[in-house]
């Protein structure tokens, strides 16, 4: 990453193709926090990483998003899904050269804000029924304290979350369905050790 010091020339600003919604930036911030520790485990920094191709991770994330939408009783927007791949970043900002990655998949569903609480209530019940570890929950209070529910899937350590979404400081008119992977190693790659 390029960083300029005071008094040195900086690169010209570029327009970002990234969406600017409040929910997107909240989800991205949460993803950054998860990714910072995503390559570490309780077994040690050189513990074997789960193996999965980018294609398989994308397919699994799409399936989770579809199942969550079904459980919430909503339809996902056609052609709205976006998938981002990130390098796994270690505790000291190191990045291994073995191809390890994590994924964030996001897709919206239109739903009036008055129905957001009912949707996250259904999802929380569904997550508990499936044995997911619910890690966050809040019902819709207003346009600043919006509805959200998140959980970790114990089988593959994917993180799933749904939150109210809409333009910053405006009424939420949709739900954002997000899926994050832990740090994954592509099949056939040799895991680097540190």
pLDDT digits (tens, 9 = 90+) for 18-31: 444 545 444 444 44
DSSP 129-187: HHT-EEEEEE---SSSS--EEEEE-TTT--EEEEEEE-STTS---EEEEEEE---BB-T
* Rounded-to-integer distance, Cα 68 and Cα 75, Å: 10
Q: Describe the chain by its helix, strand, coil percentages, rounded to 5.
A: 25, 25, 50
Residue 43 lies in a domain: no
Residue 144 sits in which domain range? 53-180
Residue 173 lies in a domain: yes
pLDDT tens digits for range 36-92: 444 444 456 778 999 999 999 999 999 999 999 999 999 999 999 999 999 999 888
Residue 92 lies in a domain: yes
Residue 189 lies in a domain: no
What single-letter DSSP state applies at residue 103? E
* Rounded-to-integer distance, Cα 89 and Cα 159, Å: 17
| Chain center to CA of 22 | 14
Q: Which residue did the predictor score with more confidence, 170 or 71?
A: 71
Residue 70 lies in a domain: yes
Strand order in the sheet with 101-110: 82-87, 101-110, 174-180, 159-165, 148-152, 133-138
Sign of the alpha-carbon torsion through 110, 121, 164, 61: negative
What's the structural domain count of the chain? 1
Residue 98 lies in a domain: yes
| pLDDT recorded at residue 41 | 45
**pTM, two decimal places:** 0.76
Answer whether residue 169 shows pLDDT above 70: no
Specify the range with the lowest mean pLDDT, choosing from 104-108, 147-151, 172-176, 180-184. 172-176
Q: Quick one: average pLDDT of 100-111?
A: 96
Residue 94 lies in a domain: yes
Specify the range with the lowest mean pLDDT, choosing from 9-23, 89-103, 111-125. 9-23
Q: Which residue did the predictor score with more confidence, 152 or 167?
A: 152
pLDDT tens digits for range 117-148: 999 999 999 999 999 999 999 999 887 889 99
Residue 60 lies in a domain: yes
């Amino acid at each position: 990453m390029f960083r300029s010091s005071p008094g040195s020339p900086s690169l010209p600003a570029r327009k970002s193709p990234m969406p600017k919604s409040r929910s997107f930036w909240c989800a991205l911030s949460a993803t950054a926090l998860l990714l910072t520790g995503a390559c570490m485990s309780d077994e040690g920094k050189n513990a074997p990483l789960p193996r999965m191709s980018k294609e398989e991770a994308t397919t699994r994330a799409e399936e989770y998003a579809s199942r969550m939408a079904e459980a919430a009783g909503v339809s996902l927007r056609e052609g709205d899904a976006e998938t981002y791949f990130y390098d796994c970043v270690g505790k000291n900002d190191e990045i291994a050269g073995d191809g390890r990655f994590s994924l964030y998949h996001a897709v919206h569903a239109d739903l009036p804000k008055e129905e957001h609480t009912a949707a996250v209530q259904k999802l929380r019940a569904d997550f508990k029924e499936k044995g997911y570890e619910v890690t966050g929950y809040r019902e819709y209070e207003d346009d600043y304290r919006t509805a959200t529910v998140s959980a970790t899937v114990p089988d593959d350590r994917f993180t799933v979350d749904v939150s109210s979404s809409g333009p910053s400081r405006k009424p939420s008119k949709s739900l954002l369905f997000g899926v994050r992977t832990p740090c994954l190693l592509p099949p056939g790659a040799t895991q680097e050790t540190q």
